[in-house]
Structure 1
Amino acid sequence: MPLTELTELTGPAVTAGDATATALLNCLIREVCAPEQQVWPDGAHLVARLPRAGVVLRTGLSRPPVGPTYRLAPPYEERREDGWIPASWDRLANLVAGELELATGRPNPEFLTQVDDSHTALSAIITARTDPSDDDRYIASEQALVAGHRFHPSPKSRQGATGDWLPYAPETRARFRPHWLAVPDDVIAEEGESDAFAALSSYGPPVPPGRKLLPVHPWQFALLADNPVLQKALAQGLLRDLGPSEIEAVPTSSVRTAYLPDVDVFCKFSLDVRITNCVRKNAWYELTGAIALNELLPPIFEKLNSTLLAEPAYRSITLPDRRLHEGLGVILRQGVKSLPGTPLLAGALTDPYNTFLADLPALSTPESARAWWDAYATQVVPPVLGAYLDHGIVLEPHLQNVLICADSTGMPIHAAFRDLEGTKLTAGRWDLTHLPSRVADSLTYAPDRGWNRVVYCLLVNHLTEIAAAVADLHPHLERTLWQDARKHFAVHDHHPQVRALLAGVPLPAKANLRTRWSRMADRGATYVPAPNPLAEPRPL
């Protein structure tokens, strides 16, 4: 078997080249060709034209599209005169870059490097990926996203040399031991519940009186090693390096957040590296903002009969260096053992290179698959819409932020949402005057922007991909699934935004390709219109 190819149990093989090409074409079609009406089916193929570059491409098409997603399949080809020739992933990257430069009038010298870095990282991940070390389905689901985001041009790009990040890559099924620092009480920075770190610290080494334990990601500790303030504090004994912990941490799909099964807690570490879109550090206002949201939101999610995983406290240091305060800041997050059934990361159910969905008995027939989808939508849709429409809470329910809890047959019985960094409040609906202005600003979205984010994450990123994955098992079911889903939205049709969705207005699809090309911060990402599968069929 080639080193850049992997067969995941009974799932299909993935090559770094094919996965990279698929992601590039998904982005190109969604953000450029489809909005400009430059894409059309041709039998078992989909044809896409780059109108400014004057190039025509062709891909395999597993089935006709329903809504904003396509099921593309190799071979990927370029039209030359009267025939078709293979188009490699790097050729496609160059063609996409050329079309975007012509469309925007601006070059981006970083783009091809980012795509190449993502391809190189994916090759390394496939080579390093090990067999499962246990049968924990939840942990396996967190570490299942080998190819990553299907609609991002460089889904596996991550800053740094491969040897720096590979030991901490969830896709390789990595484990690591967090580092311990002993920090004087008067140098500790913390907010939230005073005893939140007690259970985690009980697994640490003995701590001298007047000090507290601070867990640190070893990759981040290495990244901060040249910081002169840290070097001085360690040399003088102000901070004491107690070495690796006795307990293992499991990197989850976000890379920087790790699950510690022995304690049943997540540590959301800072990482001063760019992963896909953003540098993954815990900014000071995000540390404080998480605690503020954790105090405001739990009663509302009780009313919604749903779970938002709590983030009860953070801990860092107060030395006079913001980079250290943010870089050593760690947020605790509630674990999963109190959730009903077996939690599974939603993204694992949509990944085409594993068999999580196919292995669930509840999806064995078309009839049972419809019942499964209905149960899934019942757990996911009402709390997301209710949170926004009734309470002014903007959840970010994309595939990596939702855990779906399943019974022994795989039937969804509960959903848990996570990541208070991505959770926002609708401006004007909440009194945040008690917070520093920078914190309050980071916690709010304008109403229209918040709605776009909710609809993109819930419908385009999440439910569309789940429906397509179910249709991979039962190919003629996809349109029926969306008609079944209408009732979960119709409950809220007294809101004009929901009436518009049910009428079939285009959905806002986040423009990851254009955002990367413009080098815009992810918070400022734009959207492109995408077909809405909720639309009721029009009468003839």
Structure 2
Amino acid sequence: MHRPSTPDTEAAFAEELSVVRPGLSAPYAAALPGARAAVLTRLWRALAFEPLPWIARRETGRDGLTLALTDGRRVHGPFADPYATSAYVTEVRLGERVYERPDALVAALGVPHGPDFASELAHSVASSALSRAGRSASGDAVGPPGASWVWEQRIVDGHPYHPNCRSRPGFSVAEQLAYGPEHGPTVEMGLVPVDDALVTGDWPKWLRDGERVLIPVHPWQSAHVLDAPVQEGFAARPLMSLRTLAVPDGPHVKTALSARLTSSVRDISVYSVEAADTVSVFMEGMAARLDAPLHITRTLGAATAGSPDLAAVVRESPDEYAGTGERCVPVAALPLTGLPGKASWFAEFTRLVLTVGLRLLELGVALEAHGQNLLVILDRADAPVRLVYRDLADIRVSPARLARHGVPLPRLSGRIVTDDETALRRKLFGSLVGGTLGATAGSTAVLRAALETVAPDLPHTADLPALLGEPLPAKALTLMRLSPGTPGDLWTRLPQPLAGPRSS
């Protein structure tokens, strides 16, 4: 078994942990093998399905999958399920050497930009082990019954398919324990007064000081990025995105966090602030026009000091849309409820999300409906009855589709506006099927069974044949990390779940 001979990220985490939280040292060490397998499984999915230029071909044999590299070497591992979420890959063989650590495998591959990616993978493993150790020591978060933030803090492993699922470069162990939602902290937010802020929407009065706007600031941002006086602010609970926090009995606050989490630096562009109110009002109208069980969390206000490093968005809590006896659960947390394990329940959920997504796409809006942006309202019997969508920054709007339905285009420009059919379908299908449904199902077999059940009931829109009959788009997350000079998203196509053997 190949192991690095020099001090590495896992050891560095262990050393810091022995100082800041020694009681977690043993749980952290125990969690490392599982964390390595979780990240290696995500990496193997990428190697199996993404258009990586140094893979010449893929060969499926009786004992698994073999990758033939352009330099003549061969990589061998188990059969790859594009929708699996279990950590089923514990080792991969490159030539005659076996690797259990994803960072060591990437380093050995010697591909362009591999060293930086290997470093991120090592951080992802160590952070994942820390997250698992913290949860095993503290148990589940405790809060008001049904509060969505409680569910968010129970999610331990991060992105279900990204090898950088827990990569947080720039965060020390102490900062992860203090700010990571899976560790159950309360975060003390700061406020930066700004005299000439750009504000859209109705910025809350409690975030004003006379004529000055008070922009909420995450403590990591104030410590590492901003060179501005920060006033004492308010306590809040971090959500799964880490930089968005729930104010007790109040709204959610999305802050700028100039750190790379998974793939992207999580700042807030001036463009997003400028468009925030327009997009929010437009989407409220679209949800009403849709006449379907979909709620949009309203953007209450957005503000920026003219810099992506100092900006914030305040929006409604999704809990506002849960009635008496109901609970609002982020889709990423659904596996924790045990409900997706019931075939009838998962089929009902699949029917709900695909119906809403297809009807809205037909009207002219493609949601980025992954497990973080999409929440489901469960009734007293735990049936999925309505959806809640939050964070409108990355939807896509089609002027041509809107016009066909007599809907005027709002005053929007930039990346959010497109009539490109491929881009629209990638946005919705890549997030909704490759993300929400795939991750909730946890395997191709479960996803296929649900799609077989609900396919006859889905809206017969022009997009339905592509959804049910073609390979499905997914972001090529590893290719993106290995292509730092290429802006924007890169894509791959995953096998169509309905193309496999039919369920009996």
TM over 0.5: yes
SS at match of 2:377: strand
Find out whether 1:465 has 2:452 as its counterpart: no
Q: Report 1:100-499 matches (<5 A).
A: 101=111, 106-129=112-135, 130-135=138-143, 136-137=145-146, 138-162=148-172, 163-184=174-195, 187-193=196-202, 196-198=203-205, 201=206, 209-226=210-227, 230=228, 234=229, 241-245=230-234, 248-263=235-250, 265-304=251-290, 305=292, 306-317=294-305, 322-323=306-307, 326-340=308-322, 341-350=326-335, 356-358=336-338, 360=339, 363=341, 369-389=342-362, 391-429=363-401, 435=411, 440-445=413-418, 446-468=420-442, 479-489=448-458, 491-493=459-461, 495=462, 497-499=463-465
> What is the CA–CA distance in structure 1 between the aligned matches of 2:190 and 2:107, rounded to whole Å?
42
- RMSD of aligned residue pairs (Cα, Å): 3.2
> What is the CA–CA distance in structure 1 between the aligned matches of 2:501 and 2:132, rounded to whole Å?
43
Find out whether 1:76 has 2:91 as its counterpart: yes
Shift of 1:209: 4.6
Find out whether 1:29 has 2:38 as its counterpart: no
> After the TM superposition, which of the residue ranges 49-58 and 283-292 deviates more from structure 2?
49-58
Residue pair 2:299, 2:315 contacting (<8 A) in 1 also:
yes
Residue pair 1:183, 1:212 contacting (<8 A) in 2 also:
yes
Structure 1 unmatched runs, 5+: 8-12, 235-240, 351-355, 364-368
What is residue 482 of structure 2 aligned with on the other side? 517
Residue pair 1:68, 1:532 contacting (<8 A) in 2 also:
no
Residue pair 1:176, 1:249 contacting (<8 A) in 2 also:
yes
- Rate the CA distance shift 1:132–1:289 in 2: closer, same or farther, 3 A: same
Find out whether 1:49 has 2:49 as its counterpart: no
- Rate the CA distance shift 1:157–1:468 in 2: closer, same or farther, 3 A: closer
SS at match of 1:90: helix
* Matching residue within 508, 523, 526 for 2:490: 526
Report Cα offsets for 1:197-225 as digits up to 9, x if no partner: 13xx1xx7xx7654454322222222344
Report Cα offsets for 1:26-68 as digits up to 9, x if no partner: 21112159x97625363xx633324335223233x6xx95x75
- Rate the CA distance shift 1:28–1:40 in 2: closer, same or farther, 3 A: same
> What is the CA–CA distance in structure 2 between the aligned matches of 1:519 and 1:183, rounded to whole Å?
34
Find out whether 1:4 has 2:5 as its counterpart: no
Letter in 1 for 2:259: V
Aligned length: 461
SS at match of 1:377: helix
Residue pair 2:120, 2:169 contacting (<8 A) in 1 also:
no
Give the alignment's TM-score, normalised by structure 2: 0.81
Residue pair 1:143, 1:173 contacting (<8 A) in 2 also:
yes
- Rate the CA distance shift 1:298–1:210 in 2: closer, same or farther, 3 A: closer
- Rate the CA distance shift 1:521–1:250 in 2: closer, same or farther, 3 A: farther
SS at match of 2:159: coil
Residue pair 2:106, 2:115 contacting (<8 A) in 1 also:
no
Report Cα offsets for 1:287-341 as digits up to 9, x if no partner: 1112110121211102322112111311334xxxx33xx3221111111232232
Shift of 1:260: 1.3
